[in-house]
Structure 1
Amino acid sequence: MNRFLMLSALLAAATAADAQPTAGEPGRGFEVERYAVALRPDLATTAVSGVETIVVRGTSDAVTRLAFSPNALHISEATVDGAPVASQSGDDAIVFVLPHVLRKGDEAELRFRFAGTPARGVTAVANGIYSSYFACDWMVCLQDSPGDKADLTLDLFLPAGVESVAVGRAGPKVALPGDLVRHRWRSRQPYSPYLYAFAAGPFARRSVESVAGELVYLDGTGTGADLTALFAQAPAIAGFLADKAGMPFPDRRYAQLLVPGSEAQEAASFSLIGNTELDAERDDPSSAWIVAHEMAHQWWGNLVTCATWRDFWLNEGMATFMVAAWEEHGSGEAAYRQELDIARRKVARARELGYDKPLAWAGKYPSLGVRRAIQYSKGALFLADLRQSLGDAAFWNGVRTYTRRHAGETVTSKDFQNAMEEASGRDLSLMFAEWVYGAPVASDE
């Protein structure tokens, strides 16, 4: 992901994400079934406007309002099940007052118009734009609720001649009056809203087939980049990761959008790859660190997602470990060991600061670097230790079991432990207590 943007948001919300909800907390009392957004982005200014529909289901018996993550958009003409409702936007939430109490298990349809310039998360590039991580700044959703996966339909209304990429698969384009074209994207399984993203512009495009599905390369730099050369290792990486996951790309298609700068972030169905990140790897072309890491998230992080941020290591530790495993596969054991040594040095620096925390620790970190050292680097080291302890056959069978069993779902560390114990036939409580929980965990948890 775009590490600094994303982790700064997580750092601010780390403890709150696992606390008991308070009145007005986004997501309190309901879960989202699906989002549908008809979006008109301005490619010159990054302003957006549109209409959004959200179908929610009550999770308690006394829901009187729906609260979503705050943003800078202006909301108007809001209705719930066709009845006009009031909305309020504040620093903590966007709130819609329900015309009736929503009971547990009941559905309601919220619909409204929105317009404005997102405060973050939308970037202009080469006569186009792309969004990154902060989906709930250009639409209304639940930014810090990774456990609330929902379906998404996104209609992008764009000038003729513009390419687009977004969540899921694209339907046929529809030409409209005024030299506009509707691009419809629809998810094939539910995703967490922080993974919603889109990009649009006059992007050069290449595509190749891999054993995991179609690979699409897009150039958002406007420099005429040699996409085939830059992403030369992508088909082999895709095959390796699909084998370890035990399944192809979640959408049988995966796009990589080359953009200026140091962007490195996964979204559902595609990733943003900064050209300076690729430039940094030219001295060691065998690594393809960014390509492998972001691609790994299509399975571990996107398809199988941590239920809360406290188990974020299941996303990032797995992706970091998969880079090391890929380097071992492509370049030998020395490359694997080198990657793990880098991780050890990062954890050692965190330890010097007194923050060698368990992977599932929910407390606050003193810096983004320390948080990354634990959830990324220590997570990767734990997986390497687990692999060595169980042996390759049991370890990789456990990873495949975990991935296939929880495809499209959200998970906790215990779900991963259960899969690894099943694959190995061993009680791993002590090992998980040492690395993940920080204390013995009862077997029935």
Structure 2
Amino acid sequence: MVSVRAGLVGAAVWGGAAAGALGAANDSDWDLARRVGANHEALRTGHGRARLKEIETLATVAGAQDEYNVLHYTIDIDVDPGIFSRDIDGSCDILLTPTGAELYQVVLDLDWRMKVSAVFDGEGLPLSYGHHLDVLTVELAPTLMPGEEATIRVEYGGSPLTNFFGFDIWRLRPTPVVYTLCEPNGSRTWWPCKDHPSDKATVDLIITMPQRYTVASNGLLEAVMSNDEGTLSHHWSTRYPLAPYLVAFTATNFVLIEDSYELSEGGTLPLLYYTWPEDVEDAEQDVASIPGMLSVFEDEWFGYPFPEEKYGHMETPLVTGAMEHTTMTSYGQLLYTGTGYFDYVAAHELAHHWWGDLVTCGTWDDIWLNEGFATYAEAIYHEALTGFGGYLEYMRAIERPRFYGPIHAPNRVLNTTVYDKGAWVLHMLRGIVGRDILMGILRTWGTRFAHESPVTSDFTAVAAEVAGQDLDWFFDPWLYEIGRPEYEYGLRVRPIMEDRSWIDLQLEQVQGGVNPYTMPITLRAHLEGGEHVDVVVENGATKEAFSFLIDGVVEEVEIDPESFVLAEFREREWVPNLRVDVSRR
């Protein structure tokens, strides 16, 4: 049951025509490959605002921020969305503790455009500080001993960096939209923090704005307070720790669409969709698929990771982009078509609540642990809808002839390599260990590192442990090297007597530039009478030859029939007396 609750002002008229035009253009185009391409272009629209690889602050490079952990933030700001302003003014309380030795100073990330007016300790006494470039250094007095906790308050204000990254105001509707989008390191543009995915903390976010604005954010809405000056203060609070880039809010004249979902582990999860008035009708149709997605992911992995809070969308001017802000996904205004065309964007962002929000990449070099996993989840959702054949079709739809740079430590934080090739790593792993073991790996990964920020080596260790075998031969080339294998193969089928056949295979890796890949490759022999036999060869050398005796008359042979190897296969003529390579990777 979905209910709609109006916001503080009536519906605007901007945007409906544009959204409808996009929907009409896409409604007739349900070819899976084109639809998946459109969904993935939408995903990268949202995340692609930060196109450069993360530039660490000098403080982070020096390791100063490793000396403490943040436990909680209270961000309390006034936002002025006036025609000629985009100012914020307020404070941020930071509860922290040392990670080891005595702590003398706290080094925070804060963009230079934010002007600090004062810093206080938990008793209200002033602390010395310096703010140079994007580094805010606070001197503690007294110093903090191991095991102790302390709160510092930073009072600040200014006009944040804009350009669709960090904090921005979108004014192309009667009621402007104030929003934040901070992946990978844009949180520092509007609040002082330890702006790194490895440091998670709970958050209270108090946003004060004119009364016509409704504010959506992470966690639970604790209160909406009316102030004497004609403003409202929305107070959102999280029960679960989250990385700074996942903290966000959007504010405009929302209409709230409400639904609920019965969790697999008990309890009712509120589903809240903060929607622009002009898009409510389309949004109601599209969000109806969310409970089904929740059911699929709970069945495949484990219960929704934030059961004491909620899940929802806040419509945000990301065009066709989206971003997995914890419990409240930012959802681009043109994604609502009323047809479900962008369901795979919705599935991707929901899946991030397991892979990205619950378990967060420890560094930006490990971003594939977020994006590759969520992309693979799209295929799992499609498999639940269409079966194994549909799953294979989905994986083929995200195959690319070339991927640039490695998966780990990519040349750009967010690119097709970490999304699509990252998903293919999980798909190929499924081909090696089987579906059940792969899901066991993911369940172990999610439960062991819940609310933590592990790295790629942690995942490969979990995979080897659950699979019960060493998997370095697989992970090392696929995660840390570039490209993919290219195979040229020759096949020869020779009948033996009336009901047996020899299959001879010559296999050569011709991609060049890298060591040969070690991969199991399936040959499917189609027999007279309609049956088939699968044979798996373990290829690990540049040139190899294999021969098999098959019971039955072979009519046709396929190589990698279910596309479990991300590779190009080209058939060539049989080469007599081929010299094979006895060395293996």
> Is TM > 0.5 for Structure 1 vs Structure 2?
yes
In structure 2, relative to structure 1, the CA distance for the partners of 1:116 and 1:206 (3 Å cut) is: same
CA contact (8 A) 1:221 1:259 kept: no
What letter matches 1:312 in structure 2? I
1:152-176 residue CA offsets vs partner (Å, 9 max, x unmatched): 1112224445422212112133333
2:159 is equivalent to residue 114 of structure 1:
no
Which of 68, 84, 96 is the matching residue for 2:108? 68
Q: Which residue does 2:373 correspond to in 1? A: 318
Distance in 1 separating the partners of 2:364 and 2:61: 18
Q: CA deviation at 1:321?
A: 0.5
Q: Secondary structure at the match of 2:475?
A: helix
> Does structure 1 residue 142 correspond to structure 2 residue 194?
yes
Superposed displacement of residue 150, structure 1 = 1.0
**Aligned counterpart, 1:52:** 92
SS of the residue 1:434 aligns to: helix
Whether 1:255 aligns to 2:300 is no
In 2 relative to 1, CA 248–398 (structure 1 residues): closer, same or farther, beyond 3 Å? same
Match of 1:123 in 2: 168
Contact 1:307 1:412 in 2 (8 A): yes
- 1:149 deviation in Å? 0.6
What SS class does the counterpart of residue 411 from structure 1 fall into? coil
2:140 corresponding residue in structure 1 = 98
Partner of 1:349: 402
The alpha carbon displacement at 1:298 in A equals 1.3
Q: Secondary structure at the match of 1:118?
A: coil
Q: Which residue of 2 aligns with 1:442?
A: none
Q: Is the 8 A contact 1:286 1:330 kept in 2?
A: no
How does 1:345-384 map onto structure 2 within 5 Å?
Answer: 345=400, 348-350=401-403, 355=405, 357=406, 359-360=407-408, 362=409, 365=411, 372-384=415-427
What is the aligned partner in structure 2 of residue 36 from structure 1?
74
Change (3 A) 1:188 1:218: same
| Residue identity in the other structure for 2:214 | E
Moved over 6 A (4+): none
Which string of whole-angstrom CA distances, capped at 9 and with x for unpartnered residues, describes residues 209-261 of structure 1?
A: 22342221121375554321132322211211222230124144111122342
CA distance in 1 between counterparts of 2:469 and 2:417 reads: 25
Give the TM-score normalised by structure 2. Answer: 0.66
Partner in structure 1 of residue 327 of structure 2: 269
235-244 vs 220-229, which deviates more? 220-229
Q: CA offset at residue 286 of structure 1?
A: 6.0
1:380 offset after TM fit, Å?
0.1
Contact 1:219 1:225 in 2 (8 A): no
Secondary structure of 2:292's partner? Answer: helix
CA distance in 2 between counterparts of 1:407 and 1:274 reads: 28
2:571 alignment counterpart = none
CA 434–20 in structure 1, closer or farther in 2 if over 3 Å, else same: farther
Alignment of 1:26-425 (within 5 A): 27-44=65-82, 45-61=85-101, 63-71=103-111, 72-81=113-122, 82-120=124-162, 121-125=166-170, 126-133=175-182, 134-143=186-195, 145-160=196-211, 162-212=213-263, 213-220=269-276, 222-251=278-307, 252-260=309-317, 261-278=319-336, 285=340, 288-345=343-400, 348-350=401-403, 355=405, 357=406, 359-360=407-408, 362=409, 365=411, 372-425=415-468
Segment drifting more, 97-106 vs 190-199: 97-106
Q: CA deviation at 1:119?
A: 0.8
2:494 equivalent in structure 1: none
SS of the equivalent of 1:410 reads: coil
Partner secondary structure for residue 317 of structure 1? helix
Gaps of 5+ in 1: 440-445
Q: Post-superposition shift, 1:381?
A: 0.1
Change (3 A) 1:2 1:60: farther
Deviation of 1:179 after TM superposition, in Å, equals 3.4
Structure 2 unpaired stretches of 5+: 1-41, 264-268, 482-514, 516-585
Q: Is the 8 A contact 1:417 1:432 kept in 2?
A: yes
Partner secondary structure for residue 243 of structure 1: helix
Give, in whole Å, the separation in 2 of the partners of 1:20 and 1:70.
11
Residues 86-117 of structure 1, C-alpha deviation per residue, up to 9 Å, x if partnerless? Answer: 33333241222333444444433211211112
Bigger mean CA offset, 35-44 vs 159-168: 159-168
* In 1: Cα distance, 2:194 partner to 2:286 partner: 35
The 3-state SS of whatever aligns with 2:402 is helix
**Segment of structure 1 superposing worse, 215-224 or 262-271:** 215-224
Partner secondary structure for residue 291 of structure 1: helix
* TM-score (structure 1 length as normaliser): 0.85
Residue identity in the other structure for 1:165: A
* C-alpha RMSD over aligned residues: 3.0
CA contact (8 A) 2:223 2:236 kept: no
Change (3 A) 1:60 1:403: closer
Identity level (%): 25
User: Using a 3 Å threshold, how does the CA distance of structure 1 residues 350 and 221 change in structure 2: closer, same or farther?
Assistant: farther
1:323 and 1:173 map into 2 onto residues whose CA distance is: 36
The secondary structure found in structure 2 opposite 1:200 is strand
Structure number with higher helix proportion? 1
- 1:116-168 per-position Cα deviation (integer Å, ceiling 9, x unaligned): 1211322334334121123322211122x111111111122244454222121
Distance 1:217 1:57 in 2: 36
Distance 1:146 1:427, change over 3 A: same
Q: Deviations over 1:38-82 (max 9, x none)?
A: 121223343211121112222353644322223121111211344
Of residues 393-402 and 414-423 in structure 1, the stretch that sits farther from structure 2 once superposed is: 414-423
Larger Rg: 2
Pairwise CA distance, 1:199: 1.7
